[in-house]
Amino acid sequence: MIRTIAGRTALATSATLAFALAGLPLQALSQSDDASEERPTDALTGVVWAVSRVGPAPPATDQTVRFEPDGGLVASSGCADYTGIYSLDGAALTVDSMRREFGSLQDCTFGESGSADLFVNIIEDAESWSIADGGQLSIEGGGRREGWTLTLESAGPAEAADDTASVDGTSAEDVAGTWRLETMDLGVAGRATMPDEIEITLSLEPDGSLRGSGSCSEYAGGFTLIGQGAVSLEDVEATEAGTCEAELADLQQLYLGILPVIDTVELEDGSLVLGAAAISAELIYDPVD
């Protein structure tokens, strides 16, 4: 995936890049299909939902879910706390990028851990939601958890949160600015340092918008900080590329294919580090003076 020229790490040939592209999502280069997606409703947000039943049985631990208006989700299984991203399309509910923030199943007894694990699995495989006239929230599982239902009751209003900041203190203002990609780390696929002549940039704005250059064309989209260093990059689309060398075009396609699966953000020694756990990738940027 990488080679060394005159002591400096550079990108490999376009053929090698194309091989790496085969396993990566490239939806960033297509038109968004989410224009009709509904934003979270007032009925779902602003409330801490406490689980009253996991399938036919009451939960063995105190389990709660909170849906944020910005699309973030915070869940507690009673053994561990999780964050994620959710979207609604009418009665359909989709949950992505679930990650454990605190605790583990080992913090619960055997019986409690089974109930907690099932709770998390139903959330991850959520397929639909509904609120009954009595105010009960039902979340129906799909996939591996088809036929399972979480029943939840309101446990009171959620505390107001600063929607520009994550739980660990990283805010949109902290990451705002223009950043130049210095290193692309694809784990076992290779690690490449960008040569000086390749200019890939990312500009993050405090209002949650983003833009940048992919080396062949400009791109734009949005981002949401969710909590504990979690982030979602949304609706990333590139403008139509003009004349561009094949190797640079492959590099841009690879880079823009990674952005939609980015799920973590961190400031480390002055650098911006974006991570994608699903593909074991990291993008490391330095600030542009």
The model's confidence at residue 45, banded by pLDDT at 50, 70 and 90, is confident
Of 129, 177, 168, which Cα lies nearest the Cα of 286?
177
pTM: 0.52
Backbone φ and ψ for 231, nearest 5 degrees, come out as: -145, 150
Q: What's the mean pLDDT when you consider all of the chain?
A: 80
Between 256 and 170, where is the model more confident? Answer: 256
Q: In the chain, what's the furthest Cα-to-Cα distance?
A: 71
What is the predicted pLDDT for the residue at 160?
A: 46
HEC letters along 22-86:
CCCCCHHHCCCCCCCCECCCCCCCCEEEEEEEECCECCCCCCEEEECCCCEEEEECCCEEEEEEE
